[in-house]
Structure 1
């Protein structure tokens, strides 16, 4: 069970994405947007060169997920939201 509320998690996740993960992705022309945090699920969207990149799945698993789980809580779930699905998070 997640010991934090979504409201508590959002700014912490945003800070990590903005200051640790985004700079790494930017080195290769990629980017990431934090869309929302709901029920311990972190909804992100890969942008830039990450869209369609064959390594994007590994980036999500071994960079984004690893960093957020280590820094915040091991039960966080990271979900990549495909472009066009931003308004349908509850379906993911």
Structure 2
């Protein structure tokens, strides 16, 4: 099943995200739920929710074993570090 998911990500999702300097990574699959992470420009983007609903979930739910798709760590490490620096001041 992981191979099916990665194939769908690599052929159907990544090329579209790359047009916007974004990327995606499959984090894990557990109990029929695919957990993914948006990377690059897509990480923390205001349109990330729409990307998940209209692209990622639609494509991955075509795989019969996938019941749901969840986004993890929507905020980039750089953004978290920047926010921590601001809060320390």
The two structures have a TM-score, normalised by structure 1, of: 0.75
| Superposition deviation, residue 74 in structure 1 | 8.1
- Match 1:79 to one of 70, 73, 86: 70
| Superposition deviation, residue 67 in structure 1 | 1.1
For 1:60 and 1:15, the matched residues in 2 are separated by 17
4+ long deviations beyond 6 Å = none
Deviations 1:30-85 (A, max 9, x none): 1000111111010100000011211000000110001111x21286210111057x
- Match 2:43 to one of 39, 46, 51: 51
**Structure showing greater Rg:** 2
How many aligned positions are there?
75
- Match 2:27 to one of 35, 47, 55: 35
What is the root-mean-square deviation of aligned Cα atoms in Å? 1.6
Secondary structure in 2 matching 1:52: coil
| 5+ long unaligned stretches in structure 2 | 78-89
